[in-house]
C-alpha cells in the first residue's frame, strides 16, 4: 500500500516546533546543581519524539542530529552525566540549530549545513570530549541504523545446498506463560507456513487432567518440520517476540553440501526498512544530500499555514450551543407554521431563548480565538537568558498568569512591543551586579512578566527591580531635544510619558540590545492600534512597572449606545465610569480651556458630541440639557455630552478604515438591529482631541 | 474489521499510524498518552493495541502492564513502538505483557505486515 507521507509533514513540523519550545523552556528552567529529573525527562522526550518523527518521515539530517542530543540527554537523565552550564548552552544552541533546520526543510530550502556541522561538533565535543572526525563513525552509524522492524538480516551467503528436503527441524516448547503476552502459537505457525511447507507434530503429554487445567497456560509443545530455503535467521525472526517465552531449537533438516549460493530468502516477515541510510561519509556532506527525496514536500503540502490549536472542550461547547440553536429554530418554525395570535407568548419565549443561545454561541465562537498568553511569554525566558549573559548581568524572569487567555490577534501583535519593553528593562532597567550590591539590592535582578484580566481588559505588566527612571534626567533630556518647553510645568506622570515621544531615548549610549530612539513611540502606537494603552510607574532606585491594557478581543465589544440628534454612537462600555444628567450649575466655562464640569471635587473637560461630529439633525438640545457620559481614556477622565442614553449591547466591530477611511475619534463602526450604521467612539482618541 | 487503539503522544506519528491502519480498513481509535488510552480501552474492548513507549503521564510499558490486569485484555495483542533497538526496553515491555514490538522508524507497509502477525 502506498501512503503519501507528506500529508503528515505539516503536523510533524508543528509538533517539532512545540517540542523545541518545550526543550528550550525546560533547559532554561534547569537549575544547575539541583536538577529536576522531571524537567530532564520532558526535554529528553521532546528530543526523542523529534528524532522518531524525523526518522519516520525521512528527514535524516534531523534524525541524525537529534540522536546525538538524545544520547547526551539520556546520560543526563540516567545521572551518568553532570548537567553543566556549558552543556545546557550547547543544548540551547542545538535547539536553535534544529529550529533552523526544520524551518529550512519546511520551506523546501537547503539546510545550512555549515551551521549544522558547527553545532554538531559542539555537541559531540560535549558528548565525547572530542568532535568526531572525518570518519564520523558514532553519529552516522547510530542514526543511520534505524533498525527496521524485525531486523531481517541479509541472508548470509551460507554456502549450502540441500539435496532433497532443505529446511529446518524446529523444537518449539512454549513456557506456560507464553499466552500471557497475547502471543499465540497458531499465528507463529501461520507465519512459518508462509516460508515453506510446514508439518507439525504436537506433544500433549504435559497437559494436565481436565480438572487441573488452566486454560491460560500453554501446556503443549511442538515438533515442527519446515521445508524451506529460508535461513535460520529468517526462521528465528518469527520467534523473536517469544524468544524468552519458549525453548526453541533449530536444526537443519538435511546435511548441507558445499554448493552454489542460495537463493535469496523468500519474503521474510518484514523487509528491511527503506530508510535512507547515510553513507559513512563525513556528516556535513552526507547530510546535505539528505534533504530527502521521499519527503519532497509534494506540491499540495501547505507551507506555514496559519492554524490554531483549540481545546476539544471548547469545540464540544460550541457543538452543544449549535445544537441548542437548532432546537430553538425548529421550535420557532413550528410556531410559525400555523400561527395564531394566541401563540404570541410562545413566540416571544422562543425568541428570547434564541437570543440567549445566539449570545452563548457567539461567546463560544469567540472563545476559540482565545489563546493563553503563554504563547507569547514562553519565548522570553530564552531572551532574558541570552541577553543577560551578553550583558554580564544576573537576571531572573518570573512569569505570572501565563494561562490568561487573549485573542489570537493580540497574541500575534503584542509580541514585538513586549520584546522591546523587556529588552529595555534588561538593558536600561536592571543594573550591573556590582552596582546592585552597592545599592543594597540583591545581586540577582528580577523582571516579572504578569498577565491578568481586569474588567473587560487584559493587563500585561512588566515589573523590574532595577534603577528606575530618573525624572530630572528625563526632563532635562526632553528640554535639550526641544521636545518640551523649559517653562512647562509637568506632573511626574507626564514626565515619565515623555519616553513615548518620537525621537526620545535616554540611553547614554545606544546598544544593540535596545532602542535607537525609535522605540517607545512605536511601542505605544502598536499598542494603541490594538485598542489598548500603556502606562508607566517608576521610582528612582526601586524599579519600573510598565502596564499594558488591552481589550480582550478585537472583534466584539460591549457597547453603550447613545443618541446624538438622529444619530446613534457606541461608547465602549469598558471606558465608561458613570453617566449623569447635567444641571446648569455643573457647567463652567474656563477661559482658554473650553468647557468643564464639576464632578464631585474634580473639574473635567466636556466634549460635546453634537459639535465634534457636526450633528445637525434632531431636536436641538439646549446647551444645558442632556447626559454626560464620564469616560476614562489615556488615564484621564472626560465627559461626553450626548442627548440620551440608549441600550447596552454587544456590537461586532467593523473596520471603518477598510470600508471608508480613517476618521479621528472613531475606532470603527457597527451595524445596528435596524440596519443602520453606528460609529464606535475611540475614547482615548477623543480625549486626546479634547486636550488639544 | 478488527479494531485497533493507536497510542502516541506525537500527533504526526499517531496520525500516520492511524491513517495507515484506516486505509487498510481497520477500525482505529487514537489516544494521546497512556492515561487517555487506558480510559478509552475501558470504554470498548479493542482487538489490538499499538502504543508508543516514551509518553508523558503514562508511558507505553506501564499502559501495557495496566491493560493486562484487565480481564478483557488478558490476551489481546499489544505492540509497542520503540526507537530503541536494544533488547533492554523490549524485554521490559515483554515483562509488562507486550506481545511484540516494532522499531521506529518504520513505514506504513512494515506496520501493516507486523499487524498481520497478530491479527486475523
ipTM for the assembly: 0.84
A605-628 tens-digit pLDDT: 888 888 888 888 766 556 667 889
Chain B positions touching A11 (Cβ under 8 A) are 11-12, 15
| Any domain includes A301 | no
| Any domain includes A289 | no
Structure confidence at residue A265 (pLDDT): 45
Structure confidence at residue A657 (pLDDT): 76
Structure confidence at residue A131 (pLDDT): 57
Structure confidence at residue A591 (pLDDT): 66
Query: B110 to chain A: nearest residue by CA?
Result: A270
A331-349 tens-digit pLDDT: 899 888 888 888 899 899 9
Structure confidence at residue A682 (pLDDT): 85
Of the candidates A24, A160, A385, A424, the residue annotated as catalytic is A424
Of the candidates A21, A64, A70, A567, the residue annotated as catalytic is A70
Query: B76 to chain A: nearest residue by CA?
Result: A182
Q: Are residues A425 and A338 in the same domain?
A: no
> Which residue is listed with cell 509518553?
B55
Nearest to A629 by CA among A618, A621, A619, A638: A638
Structure confidence at residue A584 (pLDDT): 73
Domains of chain B, earliest start first: 3-118 (3.40.50.2300)
- Say how many domains are in chain A: 5
Structure confidence at residue A143 (pLDDT): 40
Question: In the predicted model, what is the mean pLDDT of residues A356-385?
Answer: 85
Rounded Cα–Cα distance for residues A231 and A161 (Å): 12
A91-128 tens-digit pLDDT: 888 898 898 888 888 888 888 888 888 888 888 888 87
A593-607 tens-digit pLDDT: 678 888 887 888 888
Chain A positions touching B113 (Cβ under 8 A) are 149, 269-270
A288-299 tens-digit pLDDT: 343 343 333 333
* R_g (Cα) of chain B, nearest Å: 13
Choosing from A211, A243, A271, the residue where a domain stops is: A271
A160-184 tens-digit pLDDT: 444 557 888 888 888 888 888 888 8
Is A7 close to B19, i.e. CB distance below 8 A? yes
| Annotation says A508 is catalytic | no
Rounded Cα–Cα distance for residues A273 and A242 (Å): 22
- Percent of chain A at pLDDT > 90 equals 6
Rounded Cα–Cα distance for residues A44 and B84 (Å): 14
Q: Are residues A111 and A192 in the same domain?
A: no
Structure confidence at residue A244 (pLDDT): 79
Secondary structure class of A502 (helix, strand, coil): coil
Q: Are residues A570 and A645 in the same domain?
A: yes
Rounded Cα–Cα distance for residues B42 and B65 (Å): 14
> CB–CB of A123/A68 below 8 Å?
yes
Structure confidence at residue A148 (pLDDT): 41
Nearest to A599 by CA among A568, A644, A637, A562: A637
| Any domain includes A331 | yes
- Which span out of A128-132, A301-305, A501-505 was modeled with the highest average pLDDT? A501-505
Of the candidates A9, A48, A119, A152, the residue annotated as catalytic is A48
A438 has pLDDT over 70: yes
> CB–CB of A49/A62 below 8 Å?
no
Rounded Cα–Cα distance for residues A338 and A287 (Å): 75
What confidence category does residue A420 fall into, taking pLDDT thresholds of 50, 70 and 90? confident
Rounded Cα–Cα distance for residues A512 and A345 (Å): 70
Q: Are residues A536 and A467 in the same domain?
A: yes
Greater model confidence, A270 or A670: A670
- Tell me the mean pLDDT per 10 residues along chain B, length 120: 91 90 91 93 93 90 93 91 76 88 85 84
| Bond into A437 cis (ω within 30) | no
Structure confidence at residue A603 (pLDDT): 82
Whether A271 and chain B come into contact, CB under 8 Å, resolves to: yes
Choosing from A241, A271, A301, the residue where a domain stops is: A271
Query: If you write DSSP's letter for every residue of A624-688 in order, what string do you get?
Result: T-SEEEEEEETTEEEEEEESEEEEEEEEE-B-HHHHS---TTEEEEEE-TTS-EEEEE-HHHHHH
Whether A5 and chain B come into contact, CB under 8 Å, resolves to: yes
| Any domain includes A15 | yes
Structure confidence at residue A624 (pLDDT): 64
Q: Are residues A180 and A127 in the same domain?
A: no
User: What is the average pLDDT value for chain A, to the nearest integer?
Assistant: 78
Choosing from A111, A146, A181, the residue where a domain stops is: A146
Structure confidence at residue A142 (pLDDT): 41
Q: Are residues A567 and A544 in the same domain?
A: no
The x, y and z cell numbers of residue B93, run together, are 515491555
Q: Pairing mode, if any, of strands B78-82 and B100-103? A: parallel
Q: Are residues A618 and A650 in the same domain?
A: yes
The x, y and z cell numbers of residue A340, run together, are 395564531
Chain B positions touching A12 (Cβ under 8 A) are 12
Q: Are residues A424 and A539 in the same domain?
A: yes
Chain A positions touching B109 (Cβ under 8 A) are 1, 271
A29-81 tens-digit pLDDT: 877 767 777 888 888 888 888 888 888 888 888 888 888 888 888 888 877 88
Measure CB to CB from residue B99 to each of A48, A55, A183 and give the nearest one. Answer: A183
Structure confidence at residue B85 (pLDDT): 64
| Any domain includes A633 | yes
Q: Are residues A233 and A329 in the same domain?
A: no
Greater model confidence, A497 or A508: A497
Question: In the predicted model, what is the mean pLDDT of residues A583-592?
Answer: 73
> CB–CB of A554/A653 below 8 Å?
yes
Quote the domain boundaries for residue A190: 149-271
CATH number for position A632? 2.40.50.180
Rounded Cα–Cα distance for residues A516 and A496 (Å): 18
| Any domain includes A276 | no
A195 has pLDDT over 90: no
CATH number for position A419? 3.30.565.10
| Burial of residue A352, with CB atoms counted within 10 A of its CB: 0-12 exposed, 13-18 middle, 19 or more buried | exposed
> CB–CB of A569/A678 below 8 Å?
yes
Q: Are residues A390 and A338 in the same domain?
A: no
Structure confidence at residue A691 (pLDDT): 65
Lowest mean pLDDT among A406-410, A463-467, B2-6: A406-410
What confidence category does residue A661 fall into, taking pLDDT thresholds of 50, 70 and 90? confident
| Any domain includes A296 | no
Secondary structure class of A607 (helix, strand, coil): strand
Q: Are residues A520 and A560 in the same domain?
A: no
Query: B95 to chain A: nearest residue by CA?
Result: A181
| Annotation says A644 is catalytic | no
A639 has pLDDT over 80: yes
Query: A268 to chain B: nearest residue by CA?
Result: B113
| Any domain includes A566 | yes
| Burial of residue A641, with CB atoms counted within 10 A of its CB: 0-12 exposed, 13-18 middle, 19 or more buried | buried
Structure confidence at residue A135 (pLDDT): 41
Structure confidence at residue A11 (pLDDT): 85
| Annotation says A48 is catalytic | yes
Q: Are residues A399 and A517 in the same domain?
A: yes
Structure confidence at residue A622 (pLDDT): 62
Amino acid at each position: 500500500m502506498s501512503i503519501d507521507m507528506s500529508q503528515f509533514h505539516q503536523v510533524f513540523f508543528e509538533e517539532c516546533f512545540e517540542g523545541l519550545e518545550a526543550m528550550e523552556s525546560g533547559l532554561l528552567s534547569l537549575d544547575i546543581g539541583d536538577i529536576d529529573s522531571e524537567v530532564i525527562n520532558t526535554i529528553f522526550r521532546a528530543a526523542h519524539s523529534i528524532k522518531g518523527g524525523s526518522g519516520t518521515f525521512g528527514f535524516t539530517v534531523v534524525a541524525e542530529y537529534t540522536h546525538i542530543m538524545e544520547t547526551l540527554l539520556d546520560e543526563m537523565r540516567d545521572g551518568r552525566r553532570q548537567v553543566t552550564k556549558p552543556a545546557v548552552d550547547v543544548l540551547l544552541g542545538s535547539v536553535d540549530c534544529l529550529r533552523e533546520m526544520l524551518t529550512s526543510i519546511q520551506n523546501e530550502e537547503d539546510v545550512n549545513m555549515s551551521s549544522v556541522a558547527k553545532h554538531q561538533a559542539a555537541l559531540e565535543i560535549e558528548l565525547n570530549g572530542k568532535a568526531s572526525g572525518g570518519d564520523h563513525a558514532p553519529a552516522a552509524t547510530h542514526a543511520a541504523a534505524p533498525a527496521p522492524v524485525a531486523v531481517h538480516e541479509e541472508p548470509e551467503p551460507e554456502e549450502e545446498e540441500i539435496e532433497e528436503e532443505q529446511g529446518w527441524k524446529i523444537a518449539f516448547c512454549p513456557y506456560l506463560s507464553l499466552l500471557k503476552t497475547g502471543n499465540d502459537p497458531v499465528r507463529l505457525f501461520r507465519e512459518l507456513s508462509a516460508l515453506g511447507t510446514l508439518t507439525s507434530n504436537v506433544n500433549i503429554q504435559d497437559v494436565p487432567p481436565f480438572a487441573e487445567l488452566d486454560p491460560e497456560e500453554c501446556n503443549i509443545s511442538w515438533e515442527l518440520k519446515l521445508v524451506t530455503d529460508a535461513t535460520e535467521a529468517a526462521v528465528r525472526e518469527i520467534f523473536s517476540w517469544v524468544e524468552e517465552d519458549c525453548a526453541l531449537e533449530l536444526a537443519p533438516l538435511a546435511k548441507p553440501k558445499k554448493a552454489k549460493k542460495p537463493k535469496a530468502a523468500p519474503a521474510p516477515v518484514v523487509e528491511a526498512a527503506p530508510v535512507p541510510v547515510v553513507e559513512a561519509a563525513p556528516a556535513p556532506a552526507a547530510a546535505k544530500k539528505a534533504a530527502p527525496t521521499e519527503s519532497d514536500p509534494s506540491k499540495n503540502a501547505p507551507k506555514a499555514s496559519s492554524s490554531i490549536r483549540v481545546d476539544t472542550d471548547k469545540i464540544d461547547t460550541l457543538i452543544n450551543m449549535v445544537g441548542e440553536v437548532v432546537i430553538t429554530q425548529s421550535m420557532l418554525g413550528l410556531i410559525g407554521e400555523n400561527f395564531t395570535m394566541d401563540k404570541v407568548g410562545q413566540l416571544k419565549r422562543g425568541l428570547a431563548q434564541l437570543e440567549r443561545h445566539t449570545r452563548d454561541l457567539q461567546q463560544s465562537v469567540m472563545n476559540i480565538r482565545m489563546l493563553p498568553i503563554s504563547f507569547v511569554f514562553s519565548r522570553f525566558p530564552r531572551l532574558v537568558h541570552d541577553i543577560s549573559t551578553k550583558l554580564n548581568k544576573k537576571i531572573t524572569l518570573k512569569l505570572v498568569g501565563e494561562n490568561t487567555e487573549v485573542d489570537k490577534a493580540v497574541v500575534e501583535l503584542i509580541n514585538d512591543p513586549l520584546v522591546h519593553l523587556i529588552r529595555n528593562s534588561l538593558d536600561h532597567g536592571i543594573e550591573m551586579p556590582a552596582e546592585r550590591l552597592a545599592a543594597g539590592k540583591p545581586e540577582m535582578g528580577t523582571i516579572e512578566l504578569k498577565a491578568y484580566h481586569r474588567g473587560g481588559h487584559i493587563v500585561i505588566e512588566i515589573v523590574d527591580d532595577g534603577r528606575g527612571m530618573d525624572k530630572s534626567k528625563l526632563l532635562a533630556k526632553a528640554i535639550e531635544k526641544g521636545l518640551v518647553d523649559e517653562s512647562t510645568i509637568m506632573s511626574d506622570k507626564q514626565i515619565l510619558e515623555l519616553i513615548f515621544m518620537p525621537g526620545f531615548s535616554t540611553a547614554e549610549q545606544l546598544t544593540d540590545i535596545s532602542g535607537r530612539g525609535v522605540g517607545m513611540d512605536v511601542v505605544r502606537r502598536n499598542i494603541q492600534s490594538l485598542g489598548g494603552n500603556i502606562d508607566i510607574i517608576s521610582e528612582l532606585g526601586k524599579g519600573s512597572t510598565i502596564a499594558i491594557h488591552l481589550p480582550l478581543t478585537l472583534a466584539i465589544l460591549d457597547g453603550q449606545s447613545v443618541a446624538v440628534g438622529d444619530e446613534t454612537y457606541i461608547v465602549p462600555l469598558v471606558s465608561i465610569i458613570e453617566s449623569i444628567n447635567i444641571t446648569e450649575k455643573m457647567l463652567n466655562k474656563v477661559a482658554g480651556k473650553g468647557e468643564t464640569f464639576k464632578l464631585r471635587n474634580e473639574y473635567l473637560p466636556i466634549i460635546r458630541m453634537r459639535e465634534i461630529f457636526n450633528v445637525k439633525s434632531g431636536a436641538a438640545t439646549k446647551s444645558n440639557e442632556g447626559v454626560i457620559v464620564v469616560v476614562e481614556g489615556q488615564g484621564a477622565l472626560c465627559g461626553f455630552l450626548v442627548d440620551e442614553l440608549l441600550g447596552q449591547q454587544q456590537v461586532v466591530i467593523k473596520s471603518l478604515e477598510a470600508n471608508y477611511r480613517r476618521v479621528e475619534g472613531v475606532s470603527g463602526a457597527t451595524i445596528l438591529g435596524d440596519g443602520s450604521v453606528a460609529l464606535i467612539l475611540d475614547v482615548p482618541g477623543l480625549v486626546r482631541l479634547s486636550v488639544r | 474489521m478488527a479494531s485497533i487503539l493507536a497510542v502516541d503522544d506525537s500527533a504526526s506519528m499517531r496520525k500516520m499510524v492511524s491513517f495507515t491502519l484506516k486505509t487498510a480498513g481497520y477500525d482505529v481509535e487514537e489516544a494521546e498518552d497512556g492515561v487517555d488510552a487506558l480510559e478509552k480501552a475501558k470504554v470498548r474492548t479493542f482487538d489490538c493495541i499499538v502504543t508508543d513507549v516514551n509518553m508523558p503521564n503514562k508511558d507505553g510499558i506501564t499502559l501495557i502492564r495496566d491493560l493486562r490486569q484487565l480481564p478483557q485484555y488478558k490476551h489481546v495483542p499489544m505492540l509497542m513502538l520503540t526507537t530503541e533497538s536494544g533488547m533492554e526496553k523490549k524485554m521490559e515491555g515483554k515483562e509488562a505483557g507486550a506481545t511484540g514490538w516494532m522499531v521506529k522508524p518504520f513505514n506504513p507497509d512494515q506496520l501493516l505486515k507486523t499487524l498481520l502477525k497478530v491479527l486475523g
